[in-house]
Each structure stands twice: as structure tokens, then as C-alpha cells.
Structure 1
């Protein structure tokens, strides 16, 4: 297939574009960063979605839309421009192409635990971040199209620039304080499993619709973090703060940050993502896409 991949200069987009090129598809990766992705059997083109629809080289059989502003503290206008309007631009740029849209489990209600949550639990009416709101509205842009929407949670693996790096940066004097000590269940998504889901979604036999994607079974987040730290030779003790206390503290920090026009050191969104259960029902992906993910895998984590 001739496939366009947006966001190819990022962690997820780059991994997707590389895997598809390795599978002998004709891949063109698009991104804002000059020289942001390379592969000996593929091409890369600069394209800022803010500039509007693509005017040339639009003859693709499929497009995987990975480009996004994944920042929970971004101004809402900026998040909408990147995520909602960017999705609209992609739809207009590739008429007739099969569209695989990388969404997020953040579209579910962040104020409460998500326990084996099905796809039907979204959309919701309340949000803890501009990221969640804008990604929800991005899904609305796909109404009536022949799109496959994938909702992963906590994507990790080699090349990760967000999840684990932020946790590493939060370690203070050998201690990492987390809501409820991160002793909560999560459906994590290894980048290889997400790539697998994309490949299944590209199959014309896969019905259009929305699918949760994650590793084979949920894990306790604290157990995963302890193993990652051990593999990296980091002596880190996980400390616990009650969820309600952490949530209230984050709310206060957000208020101060708004007044001072700064970024808070902690957000309510981050607290909710770490301190409440976030597990996904994978029934639809397994039965309708033939998705068979592997368990959570930390081999090689010492080099991530």
C-alpha cells in the first residue's frame, strides 16, 4: 500500500512509519521538523498541518494520523488548532484514503476510575486537560468517514519521549512520590502493540469504528516502575500520597500557575492518570480487528 503517516518526526509516528516501511509498504512520513524521520526505503516531507490541506502528492491508499499536541497544559486554543483542526486538515488532504486515527484513552472521564472501560463510555462532557478535550473533538471530525479510531493508554517503549522521561525527572533524592503510590491497575500500551493495532486497522477487512488498544492484560503501575528503575540501575523508592490530597495540591498549583502565567509542576490531569485505575476493555479490538497483543514487556528498558 501507499501510506502517508503524519507526525512521523514524533515517537509514535516514527515507530509506525518505520514499521510500515520495513513491511515493504510505500511510506511517506510527514512532520513539522526538518529531517525529522528517515528510512532507506521511504520518504519524509515537511508539512505543518496549520498551513492547511496538502496541495500535492495526495494519492495515497491509506493515511495513519499520528500528529498531535500531547500537552495537558497547552492553551485550549492551541490544542484545538493542533488536534481538532489538524484532524480536519488530514481528512481534507487525503480524500478516499483509508484513515487510521491515533486517538487516546484520555477521551474517557478523567474524574473517576476507568475500570475495563468500553469504547461506548466516550464522549464525555467534562475534561481535566485541553489535550483530552481537543482529542475528543478530533474524533468528532471523523463522524461519517470510513475511519478507524484507535485509543491507546500510556504508550511506552524504545524512543518514548513523554511517559517515562517525565517520571524519571520527578525523582527527588532517590524518591518518587505518586498518588496512591501508583498501586493501581493500568492497561499500558507497548509501542509494538500499538504498531500491531495500526497494521490491523489498515486491513480493509477491519470494520470502521473505534477500538481500545493496549497490552494483553492490565498491570499494577508501581510494579512496572520498580522494574524499570531496577533495569536502569536507579535506586528509587516509591512514596505514596493520598489521591485526594494530590488532586487538591495540583489544583492549587494550577491556580498559582495561571496567575503567574507559568506551567505548574503538577496537574490534576497527571494526578488522575497516575492515581486512578485506567484499564481498557479490548473485546472489540480482539474480535473485530483480530488484535492479539503481547503482555507488558520491559526488555531493553535500561536503554529507553
Structure 2
């Protein structure tokens, strides 16, 4: 029986991956500050200690600091402690085991063309910059790196709840014109995590089969029509929100980063993962069907 260590297994993505690993017949070790949904729990604080990987045949690393905090040194340091220093500790403990490191499409800058894995890494926020730095460490160590975008699914604490909070007066306001965006079902990410140990070490974009039209997707998720507001107005609101967040140290309702995510088309090219035989099986329509039943 294969033993799979899953870091961050109490989180949204990590718990889905841990359950999928157990369903595949593997013994699962869940590493993190809280227990995962299955298997053995081993406490690990990524900011302080090396993880205990004894007995593990391979490692799936999903532990990460995530979010869109107000800009500043404190936020940057908090993300760096987990996403960079924590990655360095994990790489030290891996000791030659196969490693799948789950990165993020936030390491890319928006592009008018489909984004391939060889695009230079950057990151528009403390989160994106720290994931890019961790991505580089994992690449240098010979890991398989997965880069999903906007992961959603059962238990999603981010995408769908945030969209539904934007409903006002029986409609949801979207800045600027409609665009196409890549999204990733958490089940597709879990399938990729379990398939990836057999892939050549490299970075792989992971999304649903096709990009989605923003407005139709948001309207379907929220159950109300979409109305557009001028981009200039949304930019002004985001600027004020970011400034207030910097003073209050609270996450802004509409940050410049969130605005960028809603107005810049980000479509990932997944042909490299497809060439390994991986096929995304789930779609946003599948997810909405389960939410409504």
C-alpha cells in the first residue's frame, strides 16, 4: 500500500486531495496544525519546524498561507514564513521522495494570450510573490509543480461566497466588459495531484477543460443578472478600499488585486498536463448542479 503525505490537509484543497488519496486505496498522513478529514494526523507548523515524513512514499504539498490582505511588510512577512520558509523546511525533510508542490496561477501576471508555464514568474500581491518564490525553490529541487487558478468546489470558502456577497439589489455589478477566465474544480486538482508523481519534473497548469465567460458564470453562480460598471469607477473604489485596508489592517472588500482578477483575462494553457494523459473531468456546471440539489 502506498503511503501519501498531504500537507495542509485540513484546508479546502488539501482536504479534497487527502480524501481522493484515501479513496484511491492509499494510506494517508495529514500534516498540518489541524487534523485532516482522513488518515493519520501529524502536527506541523510550517513556520517553525520540519515535517515528520517518516513512512511516506511520496509527498503532496498543499499547505499555504492564502488570501488578499492589505499591502505592507507584515502581510509579506506572514506569507513568506509559510510559502517560502515553510517550503524550504519541507524540501529539507523530503529527502529524495517524489514531491508534488501545488503552486498557483497567482505567480503569473495577466496576459492577453493563453499563459504557458514558461511565462516569467512575478506575483501582484504578497501571496503571489511568495508563491512564486516557493515555486522557484520547488523547481530547483526537482518537484512536479501544479499551478491551478481560482479553485472552487464543495466546501469552497473563497470563490462562490465572495461572488454571492457582491449581490446588491437583485444584481451583481462587474467592472468593465466581459472576459474569459480559467477556473479549476477542486476535483480536477485532486486528480492531477494523484497523477502527477508519474510526470517529469516541471511546472504544469491545471484548470477545467475550457475557460469560462465571466459574466455568464457569475450570473449562474449568484442567480441574478450581471450589470457592468465603468472600470474607472471600480478602480477608484479599489484604490480607496486598499488605502483604508492599509490603515485598518483588514482585508479590503475590493482590492486592486481582486479588480485585476475580474478585469484581466487569465486563461491558462493546459496542453502540457494533457500531454501526460491528464484530463479535467469536472466543470463549473457540475458544481452548480450539486449546490442546487
> Could you say whether these structures have the same fold, taking a TM-score greater than 0.5 normalized by the shorter chain as the test?
yes
Structure 2 unaligned spans of 5+:
none
2:118 corresponds to: 120
Post-superposition Cα deviations, 1:5-35, rounded to whole Å, max 9, x if no partner, equal 00100110000000001101111111212xx
Question: Structure 1 residues 244, 102: closer, same or farther in 2, change over 3 A?
Answer: farther
Partners of 2:140 and 2:252 lie apart in 1 by: 39
Structure 1 unaligned spans of 5+:
231-235
Partners of 1:253 and 1:217 lie apart in 2 by: 33
Post-superposition Cα deviations, 1:260-302, rounded to whole Å, max 9, x if no partner, equal 4443221011011111111011111111x21111362323535
Superposition map of 1:87-106 within 5 A: 87-106=87-106
Give the Å deviation of 1:144: 2.6
Runs of 4+, deviation exceeding 4 Å? none
Partners of 1:93 and 1:77 lie apart in 2 by: 23
2:154 corresponds to: 158
| SS class of match (2:168) | coil
| SS class of match (1:149) | strand
Match of 1:276 among 264, 269, 291: 264
| SS class of match (1:274) | helix
- The root-mean-square deviation of aligned C-alpha atoms, in Å, is 1.9
Superposition map of 1:176-195 within 5 A: 176-180=172-176, 183-195=178-190
1:13 corresponds to: 14
| SS class of match (2:140) | coil
Residue 201 (1) aligns with residue 193 (2):
no
Partners of 2:118 and 2:14 lie apart in 1 by: 26
Question: Structure 1 residues 128, 85: closer, same or farther in 2, change over 3 A?
Answer: same
Question: Structure 1 residues 104, 94: closer, same or farther in 2, change over 3 A?
Answer: same
Partners of 1:57 and 1:296 lie apart in 2 by: 34
Aligned residues: 286
Post-superposition Cα deviations, 1:211-259, rounded to whole Å, max 9, x if no partner, equal 00111111102212222234xxxxx232212334323321232123223
Contact 1:217 1:295 (C-alpha < 8 Å) held by counterparts? no
Match of 1:216 among 209, 212, 234: 209
2:132 corresponds to: 136
Question: Structure 1 residues 180, 18: closer, same or farther in 2, change over 3 A?
Answer: same
Give the Å deviation of 1:101: 0.6
Question: Structure 1 residues 65, 275: closer, same or farther in 2, change over 3 A?
Answer: same
Partners of 2:100 and 2:230 lie apart in 1 by: 39
Contact 1:105 1:152 (C-alpha < 8 Å) held by counterparts? yes
Partners of 2:62 and 2:92 lie apart in 1 by: 16
1:226 corresponds to: 219
Contact 1:103 1:150 (C-alpha < 8 Å) held by counterparts? yes
Partners of 2:273 and 2:9 lie apart in 1 by: 24
Give the Å deviation of 1:209: 0.4
Give the Å deviation of 1:65: 0.6
Partners of 1:5 and 1:65 lie apart in 2 by: 6
TM-score (norm 2): 0.91
TM-score (norm 1): 0.88
Contact 1:59 1:94 (C-alpha < 8 Å) held by counterparts? no
Contact 1:108 1:114 (C-alpha < 8 Å) held by counterparts? no
Partners of 2:236 and 2:211 lie apart in 1 by: 27
Contact 2:5 2:53 (C-alpha < 8 Å) held by counterparts? no
1:233 corresponds to: none
| SS class of match (1:101) | strand
Give the Å deviation of 1:114: 4.7
